[in-house]
Structure 1
Amino acid sequence: MSPRTKEQNEAIREARIRQILLAAADVYLTRGMAFEMRDVAAHAGLGYGTVYHYYSNKYQLFRDLLLSALDAAADLTERALSGRGKARERLRTLAVGLLKLWVEEPMVFILYKMASENFHQLPSGSAGELPERFEAELYQPVAEALREATGDANALDAANVLIGSLIGSAGLWLYHRQAGMDAERTADLLFEGIARQTDDREER
């Protein structure tokens, strides 16, 4: 048997890291930050030493998980909010996309939940650039789109309500391991208030 190429080794490494991150997200939803590295290894079906080969502690693992989640969320946000159509429709597209992504990739939901709590579950100073990147790449684009949709120069309150409502709605499904969340209907319910506000603005 010929030895693996550098590219094959890198593909195996990336697949193993993703396996660990997905397992860590699932374990977090069950145990919060009280989880241990051995919990992740067991959930991933890997040896304890294999997980430690990639991550020396759970906080290093979780920071990698959150950075990976941020990249995925930033890509979705950019695609949704830079599209055509009214700002309200673009925001709804983002909301539906986030709800679906959170079900498929719980690590992205965990990012939003932790950001809403100012990353207080991580040791002091270990969040690194996460707060600033979340603010610039995920929060401010929503606030800007809401400014455009509502005409409100200070749309931060509306951004807080929208993002917080999405987190709360998804959390009820994800923490209780319920299947079948209807992302479209959930987004429609949340956007009824925004629709009234934008309709009132357009009538004035």
Structure 2
Amino acid sequence: MTPTQLVLGSTSPYRRELLARLGLPFTVAAPDCDETPLAGESAADTATRLACNKATSLAKQFPNALIIGSDQVALLHGEQLGKPGNFERAFAQLSRMRGQTIVFHTALALHNSASGHTQQVVVPWQVSMRDYSDAEIRHYLEREQPYDCAGSAKTEGLGIAMIENMAGSDPAAIIGLPLIELCRMLRTEGFPLL
């Protein structure tokens, strides 16, 4: 029997807004997950491990649910860029990203807590940044304050003006929750979408 409860294992308002687009009832719960990257771990592996940990950490709390976990890691020249947390770190990230191409690895996990089965996928997005000025960085950061976004790049707001072009297969993935892939996973679990 397919679980009828859908749970978003995330404190991200961006992921909550994205999931709400599907018009499905869901519960939001904060996962118990240490988000520290492991030594030698690739960006895709870090994102996948964290997405799976977020989903499975809520299994005891929601024993008959489909639990969504997601995580995003930005990669610039082999360096993982996390959430900056403040103006200074965001300014430094965006300065290094100027004129460069960054790959955002957005991982999605759907855990069926009744069966113990977890589906997972990573959706990469390539984002090429413009050669913007320091003044543009300051203006963007003061206006958007994207300190809780991987790589300080908030494409759903003014951050789009910092970007030259983007390429990927699931437009919601760059914001933090791959909806095309999530719909596929939900269908696989027999969860009604329409």
Which of the pair is proportionally richer in strand?
2
- In the superposition, the TM-score normalised over structure 1's length comes to 0.28
Which protein is bigger by CA-based radius of gyration? 1
- In the superposition, the TM-score normalised over structure 2's length comes to 0.29
